[in-house]
Amino acid sequence: MTQAFIDVLAGQRQAVPPIWMMRQAGRYLPEYRELRAKAGGFLDLCFTPDYAVEVTLQPIRRFNFDAAIIFSDILVIPYALGRSVRFEAGEGPRLDPLDTPEKIATLAAKADFTKLEPVFEALRRVRAELDSRIALIGFCGAPWTVATYMVAGQGTPDQAPARMMAYRHPDAFAKIIDILVENSIHYLVGQLRAGANALQIFDTWAGVLPPREFLRWSVEPTRRIVEGVRKAVPDAKIIGFPRGAAGLLPDYVATTGVNAVSIDWTAEPAMIRERVQSKVAVQGNLDPLALIAGGAALDRAVDDVLANYGKGRLIFNLGHGIQPETPIAHVEQMVRRVRDYKG
Amino acid sequence: MTQAFIDVLAGQRQAVPPIWMMRQAGRYLPEYRELRAKAGGFLDLCFTPDYAVEVTLQPIRRFNFDAAIIFSDILVIPYALGRSVRFEAGEGPRLDPLDTPEKIATLAAKADFTKLEPVFEALRRVRAELDSRIALIGFCGAPWTVATYMVAGQGTPDQAPARMMAYRHPDAFAKIIDILVENSIHYLVGQLRAGANALQIFDTWAGVLPPREFLRWSVEPTRRIVEGVRKAVPDAKIIGFPRGAAGLLPDYVATTGVNAVSIDWTAEPAMIRERVQSKVAVQGNLDPLALIAGGAALDRAVDDVLANYGKGRLIFNLGHGIQPETPIAHVEQMVRRVRDYKG
């Protein structure tokens, strides 16, 4: 079994970069919206293997991407830790906030992984159904990003509640992080054993932290997760996505030991080539709005990604998740253009 | 008249860095809230010299900052261009959106500067009242940032409407930018002639753009403004604040010709020192949340800024505007610590 996606992570540049999209199983697909309407709540979709398998495979059938990513959510770990997690239509996630050191002291240390058995089951079934040349990606949220939701109880413009907790009560905040590190290791190893060929750690909110806090709350916990996963699965392939880390990306790469980083669309190409892509593979970084815009603007934006990073190890992706209003024809246009690349 | 603030911009590092705060005339001050309650709307506050002068001077009286910034708003240019601009309590600005090329075609080319005469009058009066050692800063919004509000009609999480307009209708979008460039030059020169000692160009939304768009919509218009202002006032001192520009800051500095850049709290110190502070002065970059947190976290954050940038040309400031819930005692703590710095 050879997978172009895994080959890039393992060190071999591909002439035509492998391609997939963050949030590729999502609302821009009519077949997803149809299933979602039947499934009930968002967590029912994640935790019913019949649904999760189908939704994971939908974008592969349409676009023949080089990787599938298991349909799930970064908040399944707090859910397995016994926290209340709800997804209300059009509102994003809602959790019971851990907004005082006293509440944090009550957080369970160990997740109930039987609650996540449906995710492992879905991984096994997707891996069995998927063409062997297509990689299957498992994932979790980075502790910092998951903690921002656990503290605030929801997403906020710059996750100020968690940043404030980390400034005012660093020991209490460290307790959340430590619990997330340990349980994320267990969860990621379980995903590899269930059939995932690679892992991605999403740190969506890394970019709101000053350097000292970034190193402590984003980089160091991620390093511990990578180390812990590799203790169980020595050749585990891991992609980090510290969104917005910008100039701190080289530090993130040097310290965490990831095989690749996903970069957002504002990255500075010369720095990324010299200080990041020289060491690990790069995944990214089309502006999701260019994909909505389509036409000549989309072609130019695709060409910029290929020109900036195509001479090195590249996995073509967006700089963030695809948005619901994206026309499917534009995704097709992007895939054609990437696969026509004469690198 | 010697001003430490201007000396830093002109090339001379100061042993104790001059200090002021973005949004220092604002809601964290009880004397501001009191006047605001009397003044009626936000624009009434900006356009009534008695009020604008008083509000501009309030933080100077309390903290003896090294610079005052005229109390105004970046949306006074669209207002003078005849656009409807409203500030509703707790909601941020509302404009009539320029959301089609057809609407953009109707935009006036020239602002009515008699509408901005109260700003010039306030500058003259502040300059007359201010201690000669304290600098007075005039400002405008960068064309990109002002245009994002003009297109969307309001602030949005990542200013997608303007980004989409720029992708789909670059010629129409360029028309807004060109009009803003010309009128910003005129407005900034007017502020210098009314008594401003330096200028700041706020590009709050620079950080949402990919490199190609950043160069076209943020850097190039700012370069034209700097050039245009210096044609009238050759030694004009200008600070740029392309918030979130991160790895693209060196390009911004090299191209625009600004004397200093304001940096946000996520900047990577080594890169900033080597590629930015080696060429221009740096202003920043305390996390406004550290100022709310206070205590040891605030001391450590202040020390980090001084350690990172204090050996070069530094104007101490926040990485973004001060937030309304900031305790005044914490501002005093910060000012003391900066002025005790033994650089």
Q: Which tens digit of pLDDT belongs to each residue from B13-56?
A: 999 999 999 999 999 999 999 999 998 889 999 999 999 999 99
Predicted confidence at residue B91, as pLDDT, reads: 79
Using one digit for the tens of pLDDT, what is the confidence trace for B243-265? Answer: 999 999 999 999 999 999 999 99
Segments in chain A forming alpha helices (H)? 4-10, 30-39, 42-47, 49-63, 76-80, 101-105, 117-129, 143-152, 160-168, 170-193, 211-213, 220-232, 249-256, 269-272, 288-293, 295-309, 328-339
What are the residues whose beta carbons fall under 8 Å from the beta carbon of A100, sequence distance 6 or more?
none
Give me the mean pLDDT over the A168-186 stretch: 98
Pairing of strands A135-141, A198-203: parallel
- Within a 10 A sphere around the Cβ of A15, how many other Cβ atoms? 9
Q: From residue A137, give the alpha-carbon distance in Å to each of A57, A325, B186.
A: 12, 25, 55
Q: Kindly compute the dihedral angle of the four CA atoms of residues A235, A241, A245, A248, in this order, to the nearest 10 degrees.
A: 10
Tell me the residue type at B311. Answer: K
pLDDT tier at A265, thresholds 50, 70, 90: very high
Q: Indicate whether A342 pLDDT > 90.
A: no
Is A23 a residue of the active site? yes
The H or E element spanning position B189 is helix B170-193
- Residue among B163, B266, B269 minimizing CB distance to A207: B266
Q: Do B167 and A293 touch (CB under 8 A)?
A: yes
DSSP letters of A80-126?
HTT--EEEETTTEEEE----SHHHHHT--SS--GGGGHHHHHHHHHH
Q: Please give the residue of chain B at the shortest CA–CA distance from A268.
A: B247
Average pLDDT in the A250-271 region?
97
| Residue found under tokens 């206070």 | B294
Distances (CA, A) of A316 to B24, B33, B152, B228, B265: 44, 51, 30, 41, 30
Find chain A residues with C-beta within 8 A of B293's C-beta.
164, 167-168
Q: Is pLDDT at B62 greater than 70 in this prediction? A: yes
> Is A158 labeled as catalytic in the residue annotation?
no
A-chain CB neighbours of B209 within 8 Å are: 266
Specify the higher pLDDT residue, B179 or B42: B179
**Are the beta carbons of B157 and A160 separated by less than 8 Å?**
no
Percent of chain B clearing pLDDT 90 (strictly above): 94
Contacts of B237 (CB under 8 A, 6+ apart): B6, B9, B10, B197, B198, B199, B259, B260
Query: Would you state the pLDDT for residue A41?
Result: 87
Distances in whole angstroms, Cα of residue A106 to Cα of each of A83, A94, A172, A190, B39? 11, 19, 11, 26, 48
Give the pLDDT of residue B210: 96
Q: Measured between CA atoms, how close is B209 to chain A, in angstroms? A: 6
Cβ-based neighbour number of residue B329 at 10 Å: 9
Question: In this predicted structure, what is the pLDDT of residue B1?
Answer: 61
Is residue A149 among the annotated active site residues? yes
Q: Which of A205, A208, A268, A333 is most worth mutating to test chain B (most B CB atoms within 10 A of its CB)?
A: A268
Task: Tell me the per-residue pLDDT of A209-251, one tens digit each, with 9 for 90 and over.
Answer: 999 999 999 999 999 999 999 999 999 999 999 999 999 999 9
Across B143-167, average pLDDT: 96
CA–CA gap between residue A315 and residue B194 (Å, rounded): 55
Give ipTM to 2 decimals.
0.94
- Decide if A66 contacts A134 (C-beta within 8 A): yes
Judged by CB atoms closer than 8 Å, whether chains meet at A167 and B246 is answered as no
pLDDT of B157 reads: 86
What is the bridge-based pairing of β-strands B92-95 and B85-88?
antiparallel
| A207 touches A251 (CB < 8 A) | no
Which residue in A13, A27, A124, A273 is the catalytic one? A27
Token digits for A109? 């240390």
Record: contact B208-A271, CB cut-off 8 A:
no
Residues of A in contact with B268 (CB under 8 A): 211, 246-248, 251
Find which of A249, A289, A323, A334 to mutate to test the B interface (most B CBs within 10 Å of its CB): A289
The alpha carbon of residue A133 is apart from the nearest alpha carbon of chain B, in Å, by 32
- Indicate the pLDDT class of residue B113, thresholds 50, 70 and 90: very high
> So what's the pLDDT on residue B146?
98
Residues of A within 8 A of B292 (CB-CB) are: 164
CB A155 within 8 A of CB A87: no
d(CA B321, CA B59) in angstroms, rounded, equals 14
Name chain B contacts of A276, Cβ cutoff 8 Å: none
Distance from CA of B31 to the nearest CA of A (A): 26
Residue A1 pLDDT greater than 80, yes or no: no
Residue A178 has pLDDT above 90, yes or no: yes
Query: Which of B164, B212, B293 is closest, CB to CB, to A164?
Result: B293
Give the separation between CA A237 and CA A179, rounded to whole angstroms.
23
Sequence-distant (≥ 6) Cβ neighbours of residue B40 within 8 angstroms: none
* pLDDT tens-digit series, residues A125-171: 999 999 999 999 999 999 999 999 999 999 998 899 999 999 999 99
Instruction: Verify whether residue B178 is a known catalytic residue.
Output: no
Predicted confidence band at A110 (pLDDT cuts at 50, 70, 90)?
very high
User: Using one digit for the tens of pLDDT, what is the confidence trace for A273-321?
Assistant: 999 999 999 999 999 999 999 999 999 999 999 999 999 999 999 999 9
Rg (CA), chain A: 19
Under 8 Å CB-to-CB from A191, ≥6 apart: which residues?
A70, A119, A120, A123, A138, A139, A199
Looking at every residue in chain B, the average pLDDT score rounds to 97
Alpha carbon distance B24, B7 (integer Å):
21
- The distance of A17 to chain B (nearest Cα, Å) reads 21
What is the per-residue pLDDT for B2?
Answer: 85
Site from B218, B266, B298, B302 to mutate, A interface, most A CB atoms within 10 angstroms: B266
Q: What is the pLDDT of residue A68?
A: 98
